[in-house]
């Protein structure tokens, strides 16, 4: 039995439930027989699927929450803190997690880690639907500093054309059969967009994780580094896997082909496996041994990575492709097709405006660049 759904369950049964729950949530008429027929289930199979309907999310480990473990913080408290994170009045206030809870008027009875896990990041918010952004003071300072240094280290367009921007992509597959990319920590829906129907993110039923790199005139294959497609798996790569499955198997041949000076690998500073947290580690050793030129991204800045901005459909969701099953090979095919749809011309254009983007970050005192 594939991980992610119940014993005796099938994607069709899960989709029947998903379809009915969607129609009900929208107040639309529900014709059960027609829905069973559409998914090629008999009446008894259909009703069996419904009676197997999920227990409340939090008691059912098979279904899990979309992201992370169940929170110890109530929904209304979360909302109060989320509002602060979107509030321009607080953009210039230096808040930490405790300060945030206090500003939201909450008793501080949960620890930093819990707040972090629940709210993702304090650094910024970007609405996946309308693009509204809010960048926190301390993060703006960090971004300004990064942009200035990057412009000094790589002042020429040619420097950026040598850059290969890398990232892990986390594809998520919903009960509705659609595919999405898991948003970054600060990418959410703002309060007005959250009220619009159809924009919310349903629970993931499967996930697929791939490493990629892009640059001017360059686009790697998807490197699937995690054999698990469980919805509980966040796709966090280990450093050993990064060294073995990515640096050794994929990046090394590029070095052999073009020579050590032919490109600079840009790595996501927020991912532990890349080795940004310390000077001495396996990943850094690998880079030294093989003469890999690399640089870390600013971190928590989707506007400064082509793999977070521009190249994806709106809201990081594909509306056209609907999967009929969740077999590993089907998931991989869907991800490969989506990746094939990312045009090189778009990437090239993005790379060529990178110096201007950084300049804009400096001029706007660290604010997020719109796209």
Q: Give 29 or 197: the residue with its C-beta nearer to Zn ion.
A: 197
Q: How many CB atoms lie within 10 A of CB 200?
A: 12
Bridge partner list, 208:
171
> Least Å distance between CB 201 and Zn ion?
14
Q: Give 86 or 339: the residue with its C-beta nearer to Zn ion.
A: 86
Q: Give 30 or 130: the residue with its C-beta nearer to Zn ion.
A: 130
Q: Give 193 or 342: the residue with its C-beta nearer to Zn ion.
A: 193
Q: What is the C-alpha to C-alpha distance for residues 339 and 311, in angstroms, rounded to an integer?
A: 10
Q: Give 132 or 138: the residue with its C-beta nearer to Zn ion.
A: 132
> Least Å distance between CB 29 and Zn ion?
30
> Least Å distance between CB 273 and Zn ion?
32
Q: What is the C-alpha to C-alpha distance for residues 235 and 76, in angstroms, rounded to an integer?
A: 29
Q: Give 127 or 169: the residue with its C-beta nearer to Zn ion.
A: 127
Please check whether residue 170 is in contact with residue 234, taking contact to mean a CB–CB distance below 8 angstroms: yes
Please check whether residue 219 is in contact with residue 210, taking contact to mean a CB–CB distance below 8 angstroms: no
Bridge partner list, 181:
171
> Least Å distance between CB 314 and Zn ion?
12
Q: Give 50 or 185: the residue with its C-beta nearer to Zn ion.
A: 185
Burial status of residue 174 (CB atoms within 10 A of its CB: 0-12, 13-18, 19 or more): buried
Q: Give 160 or 312: the residue with its C-beta nearer to Zn ion.
A: 312
Residue tagged 């227990």 (tokens): 55
Please check whether residue 331 is in contact with residue 208, taking contact to mean a CB–CB distance below 8 angstroms: yes
> Least Å distance between CB 192 and Zn ion?
6
Torsion sign over Cα 313, 314, 319, 325: positive
Please check whether residue 225 is in contact with residue 209, taking contact to mean a CB–CB distance below 8 angstroms: yes
Residues that bind Zn ion (CB under 5 A): 127, 129-130, 190, 193
The half-sphere exposure of 150 on its side-chain side, counting CA atoms within 13 A, is: 26
> Least Å distance between CB 187 and Zn ion?
11
For 10-32, b/e burial (b = at least 16 CB within 10 A) is bbbbbbbbbbbeeeeeeeeeeee
Please check whether residue 283 is in contact with residue 242, taking contact to mean a CB–CB distance below 8 angstroms: yes
Torsion sign over Cα 190, 128, 370, 186: positive
Q: Give 127 or 247: the residue with its C-beta nearer to Zn ion.
A: 127
| DSSP string across 295-328 | EE--SS-GGG-TTTTTSSPGGGEESS---S---H
> Least Å distance between CB 83 and Zn ion?
13
> Least Å distance between CB 337 and Zn ion?
28
């Amino acid at each position: 039995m594939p991980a992610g759904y119940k014993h005796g369950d099938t994607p069709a049964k899960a989709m029947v439930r998903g379809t009915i729950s969607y129609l009900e949530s929208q107040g639309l008429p529900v014709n059960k027989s027609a829905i069973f027929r559409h998914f090629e289930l008999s009446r008894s199979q259909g009703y069996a699927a419904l009676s197997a309907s999920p227990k409340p999310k939090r008691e059912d480990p098979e279904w899990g929450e979309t992201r992370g473990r169940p929170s110890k913080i109530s929904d209304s408290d979360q909302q109060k803190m989320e509002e602060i994170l979107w509030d321009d009045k607080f953009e210039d206030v230096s808040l930490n997690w405790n300060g945030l809870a206090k500003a939201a008027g909450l008793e501080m009875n949960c620890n930093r880690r819990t707040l972090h896990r629940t709210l993702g990041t304090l650094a910024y918010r970007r609405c996946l639907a309308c693009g509204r952004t809010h960048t926190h003071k301390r993060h703006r300072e960090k971004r300004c500093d990064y942009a200035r240094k990057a412009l000094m280290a790589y002042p020429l367009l040619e420097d950026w054309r040598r850059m290969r921007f890398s990232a892990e992509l986390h594809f998520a597959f919903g009960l509705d059969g659609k595919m999405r990319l898991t948003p970054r920590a600060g990418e959410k829906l703002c309060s007005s967009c959250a009220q619009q129907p159809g924009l919310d993110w349903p629970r993931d039923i499967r996930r697929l994780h791939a490493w990629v790199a892009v640059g001017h005139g360059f686009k790697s294959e998807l490197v699937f580094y995690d054999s698990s497609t469980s919805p509980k798996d966040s796709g966090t790569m280990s450093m050993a896997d990064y060294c073995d499955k990515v640096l050794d198997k994929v990046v090394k041949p590029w070095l052999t082909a073009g020579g050590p000076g032919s490109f600079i690998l840009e790595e996501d500073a927020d991912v532990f496996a890349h080795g940004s947290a310390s000077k001495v580690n396996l990943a850094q050793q690998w880079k030294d041994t093989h003469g890999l030129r690399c640089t870390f991204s600013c971190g928590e800045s989707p506007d400064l990575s082509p793999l977070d901005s521009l190249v994806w459909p709106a809201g990081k969701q594909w509306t056209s492709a609907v999967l009929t099953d969740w077999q590993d090979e089907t998931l991989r095919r869907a991800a490969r097709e989506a990746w094939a749809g990312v045009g090189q011309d778009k990437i090239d254009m993005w790379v060529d405006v990178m110096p201007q983007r950084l300049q804009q970050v400096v001029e706007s005192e660290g604010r997020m660049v719109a796209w």
